[in-house]
Structure 1
Amino acid sequence: MNKNQTEKRAWRRLGAMVLALVVAGQALACSPLPGIGGSPAIAAAEEQQSVVSTWMWNPYVIADKGNTLRQLTEKGVNRLYLFIDPDFSATYYKEFISEAHARGIKVHALNGAPGWVLPEHNDKMYDFIYWVKQYNVGARAEEQFDGIHLDVEPYVMPQWKQQSDAMIGLWTDTVSGFVQEVKSDTDLTVGIDMPVWLETYRVRDGYGGMTTLSDRLMRMVEQVTLMAYIDNAKDIIDSVQNELAEADRAGVPVLIAVDTVDSGEPGGSFHAKGTASMSAELGKVHEAFAGHASYKGTAVHEWDSWLQIGR
């Protein structure tokens, strides 16, 4: 589920309040998701593990790093997409990332908004990239981000229905520019979020032929998180079959993501079903795709909502 700029600004205004609540304690227990044990597997490389990831759109909780890292470990998270607020002290990022790495959790810088695909807003994406680059230059190795993750979803904008071809072109240009700028002078792992229906669009493949939009975007990046925001394994599995096959051919690692936000869409979230149901359904997904070379694990959107759903 996309977080627009208004929501992100709201996090900044409410940061102190949220931090106070976290410090007071949100110690909700749950079983780790499939493939990850309750304790961090520090010795194993992430590539050898089944990844469990989550989006942390509210970075203020990392100021209470002990409690937050304990909760992440309890839930088996070993990759974190952490939102970048340039106004939040880099010291908090450094301290948190250092301890996250000690627990075997990789941390990827996160940002994005639908409008970033528009030429007049592209500078916001580049500002994000430059902030991460500058941060890593000024941080010790153990404090540095492992990757950079872009969440840009232009299909939620009215222009998508009005001018879909033009918007698709802007989207692919944006992702291409993102990758080129990141990779120009860093070895950060580049990832993006994608919905599970992009195979319905045909686009140029960049080599004189045609392909699906999902395949085109996948081949630009190093990691993809597929947003399969559905509350049952059967439909999740059906929804990502085409993308998993494309990812297998492209050699691009993929995570399959579910939602815990109360989206109001019937069957779109585990908000009402709870953690046990989500873990059981993701276990089925994990079993179904374990044979795919591209399948690397699961992701849960998003951290604050995941903490709040019941067992």
Structure 2
Amino acid sequence: MWVWVPEAAPPDPVALARFASAQRVTDAFVSVPWGGPSADTVASADALRAHGVRVAALGGVEDWTGVEAVAWMERAVAGWPFDGVHLDIEPWGRADWAGRERELLDALERTVHDVAARSSLPVEVDLAPWVADEHPAAFTRIARRANAVALMAYRDRAPDILRVSDAARRILSSSRIAYRVGVDTAPAADPRATFADDGSAVLERELARVAARLAADARFAGVAVHDAQHWMALPR
């Protein structure tokens, strides 16, 4: 699961770790500020690790360059013994995305390459699966720069999750790249893009269906939930 640790309202480390254990979470992506792990980051990471959860340093801004991402990564991993690096850099969220798609995706590829080249830890990158539909070559190049990909297949029913991620999953499987299928629990303008209005029972049911459908794919590394704060708040 993604775990954001905002300075103004960090999660309760004990509650977070207990929830992760109850939900059988194996990996958590815990946000690290620009200046390196904060006391709140360390507290959350320590609590999760104590419950057997692997913890990756999570960071990213939509306009990060390779130099900026590498500088952040080096501070992050020097300040706490993380198990991996998780990049959430989404250039498609920029105001100048339209008309610069190829340039910005090429820049993302270089950034992932630079971080992976300077890190001794495995690097995972978030990618929107529609990028594989509209820019398959760029999607493939970016994915190949990382050790794994988290597909942000933000839909709230298994058939739709599988449908929107189909092209991306085929590319990743053929390229022998491990991937997770991610879903969202935060409120969204489109209720079909999140489980916020469905509750945890529906989330569990639909993710079980996704996992069963993909169990035979050797590259499938499980499901991931964005994010801890909203997942913990879901009603039954």
Same fold per superposition (TM over 0.5): yes
Confirm or deny that 1:246 pairs with 2:171. Answer: yes
Residue 134 of structure 1 and its aligned partner are, at CA, apart by 1.9
Per-residue displacement from partner, 1:215-274 (whole Å, max 9, x unpaired)? 211111111100000011111111222222222222211110111111111411110011
Alignment partner of 2:222 out of 267, 290, 297: 297
SS of the aligned residue for 1:273 comes to coil
In 1, Cα distance between equivalents of 2:157 and 2:49? 32
Change (3 A) 1:305 1:94: closer
In 1, Cα distance between equivalents of 2:35 and 2:186? 26
The alignment covers a number of residue pairs equal to 235
Aligned 8 A contact 1:260 1:302 in 2: yes
CA RMSD of aligned residues (A): 2.2
Can you give the 5+ residue segments of structure 1 that lack an aligned partner in the other structure? Answer: 1-53, 137-143, 203-210
In 2, Cα distance between equivalents of 1:303 and 1:94? 16
Aligned 8 A contact 1:218 1:224 in 2: yes
In 2, Cα distance between equivalents of 1:63 and 1:262? 18
In 2, Cα distance between equivalents of 1:198 and 1:86? 27
- Amino acid corresponding to residue 191 of structure 1 in structure 2: E
Change (3 A) 1:279 1:169: same
Alignment partner of 2:127 out of 180, 194, 212: 194
Q: Which residue number in structure 2 is paired with residue 169 of structure 1?
A: 106
Alignment partner of 2:79 out of 131, 135, 145: 135
Aligned 8 A contact 1:256 1:297 in 2: yes
Sequence identity percentage? 24
Residue 125 of structure 1 and its aligned partner are, at CA, apart by 1.6
Aligned 8 A contact 2:35 2:72 in 1: no
Residue 149 of structure 1 and its aligned partner are, at CA, apart by 0.5
In 1, Cα distance between equivalents of 2:225 and 2:192? 15
In 1, Cα distance between equivalents of 2:71 and 2:130? 30
Confirm or deny that 1:125 pairs with 2:50. Answer: no
SS of the aligned residue for 1:307 comes to helix
Confirm or deny that 1:181 pairs with 2:114. Answer: no
In 1, Cα distance between equivalents of 2:4 and 2:11? 14
Change (3 A) 1:293 1:95: same
Residue 126 of structure 1 and its aligned partner are, at CA, apart by 2.5
In 2, Cα distance between equivalents of 1:200 and 1:63? 36
Residue 86 of structure 1 and its aligned partner are, at CA, apart by 5.3
Change (3 A) 1:266 1:133: closer
Q: Which residue number in structure 2 is paired with residue 31 of structure 1?
A: none
In 2, Cα distance between equivalents of 1:103 and 1:65? 11
Confirm or deny that 1:82 pairs with 2:30. Answer: yes
In 1, Cα distance between equivalents of 2:164 and 2:37? 40
Change (3 A) 1:169 1:59: same
- Amino acid corresponding to residue 171 of structure 1 in structure 2: L
In 1, Cα distance between equivalents of 2:149 and 2:35? 28
Change (3 A) 1:167 1:87: closer
